[in-house]
Amino acid sequence: LFEALTLVQTKKIGRFPIVLVGSAYWNGLFDWIKNVMLGDERNISAEDLDLVHIVDDASEAVQIIDDFYKKYSLSPNF
């Protein structure tokens, strides 16, 4: 998770959907990221929070991924 976020934040790789399934499992970590990393330490920006999607079922995850790739078409970089 953190490696993917760092690579996207530093633009080493292009943006892609980062979807975490199971809000009961992931919300505690995400709350800590918001409160400590964003709030107290200011190590990330508010926009960085938008890189992560927390969902509770596979259909929500598929919808986020599908919506992302409808906006961005893949093409060669040359």
Domain assignments of the chain as residue spans, ordered by start: 15-71
Q: What is the pLDDT along the chain (78 residues), one digit of tens a residue?
A: 999 999 999 999 999 999 999 999 999 999 999 999 999 999 999 999 999 999 999 999 999 999 999 887 766 667
Tokens encoding 68 = 């992302």
pTM for the full model?
A: 0.84
| Rounded Cα distance, 65 and 59, in Å | 10
| Rounded Cα distance, 19 and 34, in Å | 17
